Amino acid sequence: MKRITLITGGQRSGKSSYAERTALSLSGNPVYLATARVWDEEFRKRIARHQASRGPQWTNIEEEKELSRHDLAGRVIVIDCVTLWCTNFFSDLKADVKQSLEMVREEFDRFTSQEATFFFVTNELGSGGVSENGLQRKFTDLQGWINRYIASKADEVILMVSGIAVKIK
């Protein structure tokens, strides 16, 4: 049975930890689908630290954009995170919000057509006010629209606040 959960909140609010704990409660061998692009050496070390902390029960997959390339039917999957996933499209498409939005939506629909349990982790960027930077405003709009799209398709939406899960939907 397919189930989609969106977990949103601010930085360091506990989104990933919550997604990981919940996934482990449902499966002895969940999948961690990481969307991060390695931008620099510090980020490479951060990724290695995260992989090591998850432990051997996790199947780790690194995928920047094409989540649907992976047949994960029947699995429990944590996709971390939607913000970095959108960043990859936004960057590759030279900050074209409309095209990025279209491509992310299409890829989301292809990927979630599988019968699996999905935990999408995302950031709630728009809660912090309006940026003075035009590029950041464009990305925040994209992120907000993608979050709304995923939330509309989700069976459950969780907002993390200071490590506390608040059920929204």
Q: Tell me which residues are annotated as active site.
A: 50
* Burial classification of residue 27, based on how many CB atoms lie within 10 Å of its CB (0-12 exposed, 13-18 middle, 19 or more buried): middle
The side-by-side arrangement of strands in the sheet containing 3-9 is 59-62, 31-34, 76-80, 117-121, 3-9, 156-161, 164-167
Task: Strands of the chain (E only): list them.
Answer: 3-9, 31-34, 59-62, 76-80, 117-121, 156-161, 164-167
Q: Which amino acid is at 37?
A: R
